[in-house]
Amino acid sequence: MKQKITQKFKELHKTNPVMFNAPGRINLIGEHTDYNEGFVFPAAIDKSIVLAINLNNSQKANLYAYDLDESVEIDINHIEKNDKPWANYILGVIDEFHKKGFDVKGFDCVFGGNIPHGAGLSSSAALETVFTFAFNHLHHFEIPKTEMIKMAQMAEVNFVGVNCGIMDQFISFNGQKDKALLLDCRTLEYEYKNIHLEGYSIVLADTLVKHALASGEYNIRRQECEKGVKILQKLYPNINSLRDVNTTQLKEAKSYFPETIYKRCLYVVEENERVQQAGNYLDQKQAINFGEMLFKSHEGLSKLYEVSCAELDMLVTLAKATGDVIGARMMGGGFGGCTINIVKTEAKEHFKTQLRTDFQQQFGHEPKFYEVSIENGAEIIAL
């Protein structure tokens, strides 16, 4: 992939580019908790976006999306929404730099990658991350990493219109080979943890249902959580987010809640507790208990938070029924995309065959499987 991108850049622009890479991610557990100031447990993967880029001493930016064979030319001083959806992630990043007073100069670029779109593996965050990282590097802005992560996140919020949390951009910047990152989304303190799952493999199963509905529903979930916090503040004036309450406090306040809002809040509060427990179980090499947290997480996401869909639910049910999976759940924003499965390594092929057959019977197509390795976050790559 790296070679193809470099080659294309040279062909189009007749110079040598500077090359960057930013990965997609999995999330072991901690879904829809990031924007509630809670905990998440992601890891960067070997599916990524590669960017070839160089400044061009002009006021123009020439963007070329290799996988789509599409290009867009923009005036760097007039950043406005583009009708090519992919371009908006990049324009959003430029806009954030400008808003912070960093003058992004004209550039040429070619980018491409192997992160499936709409699969819940954060291809959009990888795109924002790789450009943020590259602009900072090429202009010698020396922006602190945490600041860059927030800028990449805000590109999506302000320009693309998804009011996302910080998890995806954070891990795309900070991933570390063979480690998952347990992040406190309030303080942004984090800890790398070994994924002690000897004898088990992490297998992703893709419903191939694109989460098109997701951004609208995603923003609605955020608002529902905010409503929940307002209700809780009447009882507990010192709280700022769902992070600040435990299940006992929430249950005591139940009568003040409309049912839907209560369900959303219960999911988030329980999920935060699960992430902490899951982290401890991994440390103690208690794979079975760790996996159980994933099943519970899925149940909450499906029944309380209602961001799953029939295909995701089916994949989790089928996974459980094989008897070879100790934990499975939907991953990412929801409404489609992948499940993450902790599967006995020796039974991996059987697991895939079983899911293929049964899923196909129900939905008329097979799911797709990905086995990912855990890799480093954004970096410059040698030519």
Which residue ranges make up the site for ligand GLA (CB under 6 A)? 31-32, 34-35, 122, 164-165, 167-168, 332-333
Among 122, 137, 120, CA closest to 51: 137
Q: Which residues contact 77 (CB under 8 A, 6 or more apart)?
A: 59
Catalytic residues: 168
- In this complex, which beta carbon is closest to ligand GLA, that of residue 143 or of residue 183? 183
**222/9 Cα distance (integer angstroms):** 40
DSSP count for the chain of H helices, then E strands: 11, 13
CB of 40 to ligand GLA, least distance (A): 7
Q: What is the strand order of the sheet 190-194 is part of?
A: 39-40, 179-184, 190-194
Q: Half-sphere exposure (CA, 13 Å, Cβ side) for 156?
A: 26
Contact 61, 250 (CB under 8 A): no
CB of 36 to ligand GLA, least distance (A): 9
- In this complex, which beta carbon is closest to ligand GLA, that of residue 119 or of residue 343? 119
| Structure token digits, residue 244 | 């600040």
Q: How far, in Å, are 175, 218, 242, 297 from residue 261 at the CA level?
A: 34, 14, 12, 18
CB of 31 to ligand GLA, least distance (A): 4
Taking residue 369's Cβ as centre, other Cβ atoms within 10 Å add up to 16
| Structure token digits, residue 247 | 């299940």
| Structure token digits, residue 80 | 């406005």
CB of 302 to ligand GLA, least distance (A): 14
In eight-state DSSP terms, residue 301 is: I
- In this complex, which beta carbon is closest to ligand GLA, that of residue 34 or of residue 324? 34
- In this complex, which beta carbon is closest to ligand GLA, that of residue 17 or of residue 118? 118
- In this complex, which beta carbon is closest to ligand GLA, that of residue 48 or of residue 354? 48
Q: Which residues contact 201 (CB under 8 A, 6 or more apart)?
A: 342, 343, 344, 345, 348, 371
- In this complex, which beta carbon is closest to ligand GLA, that of residue 17 or of residue 30? 30
CB of 252 to ligand GLA, least distance (A): 27
CB of 32 to ligand GLA, least distance (A): 5
